[in-house]
Chain A
């Protein structure tokens, strides 16, 4: 469904993403993990058209979408959420989600009705008429997800939708993402919450300093010495003597 080949982006002297390649098969949940500053969000920005790669290509559903405008990529069914949530503050939750629904629904009433259905999927039915600016962090994260879902995506790019949530809220959103996958949407997610990655993703890639340094099942990745070192520093794996816990 999605295939990245040798994607590279340089910001001045900083090589943000270096020859990154990965594959997301249809119907799967794939995770992209890595320490802060590894280039994950830049990689997402290149896939979704917000940043043009210096080299490499993005193949989506058999077509080359490298360098297309963000709105054109969204119309093909590839939709991203933002790590730093971007609600339409003055609009209500219902109106926010309806903006996404309008991609395929011209009529205002249909789009608003569809927004209410989507809101129920992420447990926001109580807040439909609240202004988006009044939502808590958890509410805004859910709204990001709901708005993206309303565009009826084939592939959803989720950028840290669980950051800042408490364990109960994480369980809810994990459940919601699983339902989204079961409804036929492929998911590529950036996530720091390992508990969620382990329970959701079949396959994970690790990005460090702009390079993909490992891939495999989340459990296998978490015990690879060079992945642990990427997070905790050189020699950490040795000091921990292989006793690596998989936790949140």
Chain B
């Protein structure tokens, strides 16, 4: 890894760890926690969509499975929070394996895969809003009992550091993909599945592995959400806005890069927050803003902010050549 990259990572980690000690407002802290949570969700999406090229449009199915599994296990079955949290992660991995096995076995790619994931998320949302064990239309309230053993921390600051650690783990997973055989196989499958098969790669198993990891990560985000807000319902957990949040950050920041979901997620939430302050909290406003942003990004910066930064700083002949047609 280059020295500048290491320095950037170290600097970002220090700033992130020190910021809440400087910014002491509760409002800022809760916004930072939500932002980092969705950064982590974006990192989970990026494993499958960015590195693996399998665009899921229904990551809410994993997020919601994690949130519901941990809530049901604690509230309805009386398990300790720690056990329930691991149950939530396992639920995400299992749902990932199930959806992956079905869709990759039948060779679903591109928009077909996106539609299948979207359909699964909707089915899960409807089931969660109908069954008794998931609290049906009322949702599930996790009783407040603020002890670390319950994964309920007395201060917001502790939650901040937990979610910051999750983002750190997400970043480490991304770097791991870039420097491992599994990651090389995953990117080869993304670039050209037939060529990958001809070189001995079992594309089905590689994609299945990616969706399991991605599902477990997104479910972990769901577990955190449940422990932090102590309330979930079917719309919060499985709603389409969760799926949109998951994919927007990485696309804006840079697909298949370690920094992409972080840069994109922070930008997205800062803009969303600004828009709220300027224009008032009109319902659906953030979604309109996200839509506009997505169109602008895909038209002018298809490789995301990360790609833009790389081109600005590297000034390689390749980068210049790529920019020419856009200006012409």
Contact = CB atoms under 8 A, between A and B. Distances in A.
Contact of B203 (A71, A91, A100, A150): A71
Interface stretch (B55-63, B126-134, B191-199, B271-279): B191-199
Contacts of A118: none
A105 B200 CA distance: 12
B29 interface: no
Nearest to A131: B318
B318 A134 contact: yes
26 contacts: A48-B198, A50-B198, A69-B197, A69-B202, A70-B198, A71-B200, A71-B201, A71-B203, A74-B197, A74-B200, A75-B200, A79-B198, A79-B199, A81-B198, A82-B198, A86-B192, A86-B194, A90-B187, A90-B256, A91-B187, A99-B185, A103-B199, A107-B181, A131-B318, A134-B318, A147-B195
A99 B203 CA distance: 13
A69 B197 CA distance: 8
B168 to A, nearest CB: 21
A69 B202 CA distance: 9
Given A71-B200, A98-B184, A82 B191 contact: no
Contacts of B197: 50, 69-71, 74
A98 B181 CA distance: 9
Describe B's contact surface by its main secondary structure: helix
Contact of B184 (A50, A87, A95, A148): A95
B200 A88 contact: no
B199 A74 contact: yes
B195 A74 contact: no
Contacts of A69: 197, 202
Give the most central of A50, A102, A103, A148: most B CB within 10 Å: A102
B255 to A, nearest CB: 10
Interface in A84-131: 86-91, 95, 98-100, 102-103, 105-108, 111, 130-131
Interface of B: 179-181, 184-185, 187-188, 191-192, 194-203, 256, 318
Contact of B179 (A81, A87, A108): A108
Given A71-B202, A131-B318, A151-B199, A99 B188 contact: yes
Interface of A: 48, 50, 69-71, 74-75, 79-82, 86-91, 95, 98-100, 102-103, 105-108, 111, 130-131, 134, 147-148, 150-151
A90 B199 contact: no
Given A50-B194, A86-B194, A148-B199, A99 B318 contact: no
A75 B187 CA distance: 19
Contacts of A50: 194, 197-198
A199 to B, nearest CB: 27
A151 B200 contact: yes
Nearest to B178: A108
Nearest to A88: B191
A91 B180 contact: no
A227 B198 CA distance: 32
A208 to B, nearest CB: 26
A157 B255 CA distance: 35
